[in-house]
């Protein structure tokens, strides 16, 4: 694989993301305007719930309806009430969200309580069932220890996650190849059809390549498509454009 083909592949696997506190309709439109269809389209756009309707309408207007709309719940701290999280999930789906990125209450897991996080995933899955994919953010950089990362990934898988996602992008350590390896191996050994999303801090195609190769090694090259693998990234798109336009080799 060349850098250019990996750049195109990374774009096809990308959840182009903006989850900034000061996001506005104008900044979300600017995010959509940063897509150059001549280079390719991302897999999804990931925004806060209040922008789901706007993104859905804009994607239809631009005839890019194949791009999924993703949003976040219990984000970023993982500390909201379960009832509120379930309500957020229903309302985001009603607004047109295709994918829900739920923050696992990872603090509870770290405190020795796996039941609460399990309930969040299970209840969110019931709310999503048949209508949206559920991606579960385990915040691997905070969990830190491989054993805890594996435990969180396994819990998410067993409770119904469609994807296990590394990070919110809001803590000191976000996606790392080390955490990705643990999660991918946990998915593989589960024998379930669950995807993986590396999110937070993936800014260059060269960095993205480490995750692509890791996923190919562990899961096989044929597994590497947007049904199974995503990058959650706010700034990888600009490096993809630089690489594809041949300004960097």
Ligand X SMILES: O=C[C@H](O)COP(=O)(O)O
Nearer to ligand X, 23 or 181 (CB): 23
Specify whether 197 is catalytic.
Answer: yes
State the nearest-atom distance from the C-beta of 2 to ligand X, in Å.
24
State the nearest-atom distance from the C-beta of 72 to ligand X, in Å.
8
Nearer to ligand X, 101 or 151 (CB): 101
State the nearest-atom distance from the C-beta of 76 to ligand X, in Å.
8
Pairwise CA distance, residues 35 & 37, whole Å: 6
Give Cα 179 distance to the centre of its chain. Answer: 15
State the nearest-atom distance from the C-beta of 185 to ligand X, in Å.
22
Nearer to ligand X, 12 or 119 (CB): 12
Pairwise CA distance, residues 95 & 99, whole Å: 12
Nearer to ligand X, 234 or 249 (CB): 234
**Helix/strand/coil (H/E/C) assignment for every residue in the chain:** CCHHHHHHHHHHCEEEEECCCCCCHHHHHHHHHCCCCCCCCCCEEEECHHHHHHHHHHHHHCCCCCCEEEEEECCCCCCCCHHHHHHHHHHHHHHCCCEEEEECCHHHHHCCCCHHHHHHHHHHHHHHCCCCEEEEECCHHHHCCHHHHHHHHHHHHHHCCCEEECCCCCCCCCCCHHHHHHHHHHHHHHCCCCEEEEECCCCCHHHHHHHHHHHHHHHCHHHCCCCCEEEEECCHHHHHHHHHCCCCC
Omega before 26 within 30 of 0, i.e. cis? no
Nearer to ligand X, 174 or 249 (CB): 174
In the set 101, 125, 135, 162, the catalytic residue is 101
Residues engaged in binding ligand X (CB under 6 A)? 17, 19, 46, 168-169, 174, 199-201, 232-235
State the nearest-atom distance from the C-beta of 211 to ligand X, in Å.
13
Residue nearest to ligand X according to CB distances in the complex: 169
Query: Which residues carry out catalysis?
Result: 101, 165, 197
């Amino acid at each position: 694989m060349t850098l250019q083909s990996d750049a195109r592949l990374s774009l096809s696997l990308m959840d182009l993301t903006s989850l900034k506190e000061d996001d506005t309709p104008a900044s979300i439109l600017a995010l959509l305007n940063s897509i150059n269809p001549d280079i390719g389209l991302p897999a999804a756009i990931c925004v806060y719930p209040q922008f789901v309707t706007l993104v859905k309408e804009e994607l239809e207007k631009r005839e890019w309806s194949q791009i999924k709309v993703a949003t976040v719940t219990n984000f970023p701290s993982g500390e909201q009430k379960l009832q509120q999280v379930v309500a957020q999930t229903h309302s985001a789906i009603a607004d047109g969200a295709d994918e829900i990125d739920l923050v696992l209450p990872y603090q509870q897991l770290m405190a020795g309580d796996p039941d609460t996080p399990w309930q969040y995933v299970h209840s969110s899955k019931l709310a999503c069932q048949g209508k949206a994919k559920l991606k579960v953010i385990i915040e691997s950089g905070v969990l830190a220890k491989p054993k805890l990362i594996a435990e969180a990934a396994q819990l998410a898988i067993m409770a119904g996650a469609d994807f296990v996602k590394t990070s919110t992008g809001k803590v000191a350590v976000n996606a790392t190849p080390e955490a990705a390896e643990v999660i991918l191996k946990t998915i593989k050994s589960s024998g379930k059809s669950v995807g993986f999303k590396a999110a937070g801090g993936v800014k260059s195609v060269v960095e993205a390549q480490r995750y692509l190769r890791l996923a190919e090694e562990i899961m096989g090259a044929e597994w590497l498509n947007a049904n199974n693998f995503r990058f959650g990234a706010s700034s990888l798109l600009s490096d993809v454009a630089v690489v594809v336009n041949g300004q960097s080799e």
